[in-house]
Structure 1
Amino acid sequence: MEPSLFAQPLLRLGSSTITVGQGVAVGGAAVLIALLMLGMALWRSGRARADAAFEAAERAREAEMRMVGILRSQAEMQGRLGSMAEIFGARQAELTQSLSQRLDAMTGRLGQTMAEQTKSTHENLARLQERLAVIDTAQSNIQSLAGQVVQLQAILSNKQTRGAFGQSRMEAIVADGLPQGAYEFQATLSNGTRPDCLVRMPNDTPSLVIDAKFPLEAWNAIRAAEGPDAQKAAAQAFRRDVEVHIRDIADKYLLSGETQDTAFMFVPSESVFAEMHENFETLIQRAHRLRIVIVSPSLLMLSIQVIQSILKDSRMREQAHLIQGEVIRLMEDVSRLDDRVRKLQVHFGHAARDIDDILVSSGKVTKRGQKIEALEFGANDPDRPSASPTDVGARPVESRTGQLKLRVVEEE
């Protein structure tokens, strides 16, 4: 039998021979396997597409849910933003109102402060203007005073005018301290000399002489001297002039029985007086030996006050008998006053007794009034209370008309 087509050899591999049938079987198996693999691949591909579609659907659903959540959150956020906008609007309105009130209050305070500051500034300017006016007045006074000082310097530069200046100061002090008639300026003494002032002492005692012609030109020379030698020479000249003046006062004005044994030499400057006591002690001692007292304006004023007290004591002693007579008459008046007071005391005693009698009479009148209160109407009066049998000492009294009865209570 002729072999079939499938048994014919197809391929020889070494010692093995592969037939056509085997090749076909192997090819069919391969095709089958390929179909199986293709089907499995298609199944897997469909499964994969289904899974992908499912996953896509799940993702779409999740995305939709997320979108819904986002929309819900957006709506909530919009609501919150709206409420926050309302709150912020209200707060902004309140803040605007508060700021407006505070600005108004601050503006008012600033206006008031500025008004007060303006008023204070005007007042300060007014006071400053017043002070400037005072300063201008003081400046004008200072200028006038400077002119007066220049005039005074011109006056003191002349010997006669300088003496008149000392004389005027002394006269002013004496006239202010003593009464009129207790002093005399430029009086003439028995020797023909004329002192600057003569103070009349009480009880016919000698008068006190005051001289005001102090040599101030020598003192001014000391002030104007430059250098030790010039000052020494000016000091010697001043000492010599003062000694001569002290001796002239002692020789001219110390008259026994007419003037006091002591005279005053008036120095019209306190500084000159102090300088003399400090640097010219010999002049002070020489003046004391000659019974000349050097006085400054303050010492002269004190001496004038002492003399005034002496004059007052003298006048009181002179009027002592008049005072004694007045005291006697005063005692007589006091005695008469005592007698009249005693008489008035007696009158007061009588008045007290009269008052006691008046009090007794008023007591009786009061009792009579109590009796009048006991008046009763007649028996026909329905308002009259019935007589009580217990009224002891009561007796009825009938009136003339018979309509009124009196019940008189006898006093025990």
Structure 2
Amino acid sequence: MQDVLIDISGRPITVAEALLAAAAIAMLLLLMILILVWRGHARRVAADAELHMQGAEFQHRVAELVRVQFEMTGRMQTMAEVFGSRQSELVRGLSERLDGLGHRIGQSMNETTRNTHEGLSRLHERLAVIDSAQKNITELSSQVVGLQQILANKQTRGAFGQARMEAIVQDGLPAGGYAFQATLSNGNRPDCVIAFPNGAPGLVVDAKFPLEAWNAIRAAEGPEMTRAAEAQFRRDITKHLKDIAERYLIPGETQDTAFMFVPSESIFAEIHERFEDIVQGSHRLRIVIVSPSLLMLSVQVLQSVLRDVRMREQAHVIQGEVLKLMEDVARVTERVLKLQTHFGQASKDIDDILISTRKLKNRGARIEQLEFGEEGTPVLDRQGDLLASE
């Protein structure tokens, strides 16, 4: 047993030592195994205890869950009842609102339908008015086209201006106060001669206005063409003004001023605005450019003058009539005075009659109050007067 079994780092190890070491190791291993087994059992016990505790906790939690479930069920039933009542109220409210909305929509639709019908009726009326206006515009367009055709022709244009001038003169003056196309001493025939009172020379009115150059101004395109048309218009109207002055201004037979009639207010305005030199030249030639409104005003002034002249001519007749009227007034005054005298006399007679009737009334009253004695003797009144018997 003392035999060396192995030498480790110079130290010999015997068999006994080796066996002791092996036994120690075995014991150590057994101890470790026992420790491991005990630890496993302890772990199982702890696991069982923990599992038991978890089972109890689980049961507790299950019970709690059951309780919560019961509470949730009750709450759900309560909520279901509340929701049911709320739902019924909501349905009732929605029904009422839908009924009210349907009623309002029906009223609105009825009102909208009525307004639509009224609007359509008004629209039909306006369409009828528009159709009438369209017809008037169509007729006016045809008339404008005819007017353009008239103004395009020189002879018809002169007839148009002559017609407007004649209408104005005829409306403003009496029949004997004018003459159309009268022949002057030099053989010329102006469009109109307006007669003045007391044998004064007449006033010449010319209605032949040159429109060709003016229409050329309107139709001009560009500055060059416009200037050329304006120059041609100046030449034409200057020549026409000179012709009027040479043909119609006759001393002692016509007035020293003549009218040149322009049948358009717009042309008249543009001439005074754009062609001041033409206006000044007409004044130097003693010719007045007149529009329809100015000619009408001049005719009205002449009418007033003629009326004043006629009144002065009839002044002696008026004076004679006034004298006769004064004589009639004097006679009426005299007769009124006589009637007043008769009324005064009649009034005096009436007063006398009233006095007599008042006396008769008093006497009748006294007779009514008479008193008689026993033998029929009349009794005196307080004043001592004898009262007559019946």
TM-score (norm 2): 0.67
Other-structure match for 1:72: none
Q: Is the 8 A contact 2:367 2:387 kept in 1?
A: no
Q: Does the 8 Å contact 2:370/2:379 carry over to 1?
A: no
Q: What do the CA deviations read for 1:205-255 (whole angstroms, capped 9, x no partner)?
A: 001100000101110111111111111111110000001000000000001
Contact 2:370 2:387 (8 Å CA) reproduced: no
TM superposition shift of 1:118: 7.2
Matched residue count: 290
Structure 1 residues 357 and 111, CA gap change in structure 2 (3 angstroms):
farther
SS in 2 for 1:259: coil
1:111 and 1:160 mapped to 2: Cα distance? 72
Q: Distance in 2 between matches of 1:182 and 1:343?
A: 52
Q: Give distance in 2, aligned partners of 1:378 and 1:110.
A: 112
1:148-163 matches, within 5 Å, as 148-163=143-158
Q: Per-residue deviation at 1:163?
A: 1.2
- Letter of the structure 1 residue corresponding to residue 185 of structure 2: S
Amino acid at match of 2:312: R
Find the counterpart in structure 1 of residue 26 from structure 2: none
> How far apart in 2 are the matches of 1:117 and 1:365?
93
Mapped to 1, the partners of 2:258 and 2:126 lie a distance apart of 51
Answering whether residue 202 of structure 2 is matched by residue 207 of structure 1, we say yes
Q: Deviations over 1:142-191 (max 9, x none)?
A: 11111111111121111111111111111111011001111111111111
Q: Would you say 1:363 and 2:381 are equivalent positions? A: no
Equivalent in the alignment of 1:92: none
Counterpart of 2:327 (choices 332, 352, 360) is 332
- Say which is worse superposed, 199-208 or 357-366, in terms of deviation: 357-366
Task: For 1:223-372, list aligned pairs within 5 A.
Answer: 223-372=218-367
The CA RMSD measured in Å over matched residues stands at: 3.3
For residues 140 and 178 of structure 1, the distance between their equivalents in structure 2, rounded to whole angstroms, comes to 36
| Ranges in structure 2 where 5+ consecutive residues have no aligned partner | 1-95
Distance 1:143 1:287 in 2: 40
Matches within 5 A, 1:135-154: 135-154=130-149
Out of 158, 161, 179, the residue aligned to residue 174 of structure 2 is: 179
Distance 1:389 1:186 in 2: 113
Displacement, 1:130?
2.8
Unaligned runs of 5+ in 1: 1-98, 381-386, 398-405, 408-412
Letter in 2 for 1:142: I
TM-aligned CA distance change 1:393 to 1:269, over 3 Å: same
SS at match of 1:181: helix
CA shift digits 1:335-368 (9 cap, x unpaired):
1111112112211211221121021012112113
Question: Relative to structure 1, is the Cα distance of residues 243 and 367 closer, same or farther in structure 2, using a 3 angstrom cutoff?
Answer: same
1:245 counterpart SS class: helix
1:132 matched to which residue of 2?
A: 127
What is the deviation of 1:369? 2.7
TM-score (norm 1): 0.64
Gap change, CA 1:119 and 1:339, over 3 Å in 2: farther
What amino acid sits opposite 2:265 in the alignment?
E
For the pair 1:193 / 2:188, whether they are aligned, the reply is yes
1:170 pairs with 2:172: no
